[in-house]
Amino acid sequence: MAINKNSNGYTFFFAIAMVVVVGTTLAVTAFGLKPLQQKNQATKKMMDILGAVKVDADRSNAAALFTEYVTRRVAVNYNGEVISEKPGDAEVDPTDKNDPFNIDVKKDYKANVKKFVQQFGDNEEKLASALEEAGVVFPVFEVVKDGEKFFVCPMVGTGLWGPIWGYVSLEEDYKTIYGARFDHKAETPGLGAEIKEDFFQVKFEGKQLQLADGSDLFNVLKGGAQTNEHSVDGITGGTITSKGVDEMLNRTLPVYLNYFENANNQRAQR
């Protein structure tokens, strides 16, 4: 019996067949490319972490340099308590959920942190309780470079048009900023997007966190403003993005300071 290729039934079943074939092909391709995508993402993260301590790395040497400089990777909760840890030279396995390296701070921010920040605003107690209840954890990377120890602290926030993120390294006194690397998803070129440029990032080097009670840890001021040892001037014309960096720093760094304080107390008790 001849098939009537002009019938509605033929057209309908042909369309279904094509959807199935194309969908299956795309799914198989995506599955096959996933390991490569994970490797590329891991390499980029290693480059960002190393960049925060002023180690230049590219995709060809990032893994080797990461093993050379990173001595310990730790996951902590909002109170700074250690949840899991790995030695720096342990191989990064993208499927290992206990490896602090695999904590996706951007995903956690989108899923939990952002809504809690919007809900509780400046109420630090309620924000801490919500993050702790949600099980949000934060990675920190200990680095030894030229015999000196540094701590790289990842963070995520919101700019004008989308997420912004950064890696800030602190010296062993826990208050001196050694280096910083920031990036964004969709900020305005020539304005907010300039947070990823060297001229903005180098402003943070050598600055001090303000540890006095009742004060912000650090301030990113309006572009061109007078600064001091606890602040930098933001991007001219990128006020909202600059405020996003400010909020990101002052919300996230206290978590890491809790971890440093706990570590100091444990050492004192030994």
SS3 98: coil
pLDDT band at 16 (very low <50, low <70, confident <90, very high): confident
Of residues 122 and 6, the one with the higher pLDDT is: 122
Please state which of the ranges 118-122, 178-182, 212-216 shows the lowest mean pLDDT. 212-216
CA–CA separation, 240 vs 133, rounded Å? 30
Provide the percentage of residues in the chain whose pLDDT is more than 70: 88
**Average pLDDT of 33-56?**
84
Residue with tokens 């060297």: 198
Query: DSSP letter at 208?
Result: B
Q: Give pLDDT tens digits for 47-100.
A: 999 999 999 999 999 999 999 999 999 999 988 999 999 998 898 888 888 999
DSSP for residue 8: H
From CA 75, how far away is CA 99, in angstroms rounded? 8
**What is residue 150's three-state secondary structure?**
strand
H/E element, 244? helix 239-269
Please state the length of the chain: 270
pLDDT at 40 over 90: no
Select the more confidently predicted residue: 18 or 220: 220
pLDDT at 19 exceeding the cut of 90: no
CB atoms closer than 10 angstroms to residue 222: 13
Q: Is a pLDDT exceeding 70 seen at residue 151?
A: yes
Contact 181, 158 (CB under 8 A): no
- Band (pLDDT 50/70/90 cuts) for residue 103 is very high
CA dist., res. 259 & res. 244, Å (int)? 24
pLDDT greater than 60 at residue 2: no
Domain ranges of the chain: 45-269
SS3 197: coil
Alpha-carbon gap, residue 74 to 87, rounded angstroms: 9
Asked whether the whole model's pTM tops 0.75, one would answer yes
Average pLDDT over the chain, rounded to an integer: 87
Percent of the chain with pLDDT over 90: 53
The string of pLDDT tens digits covering residues 163-212 is: 899 999 999 999 999 999 999 887 777 777 899 999 999 999 999 999 87
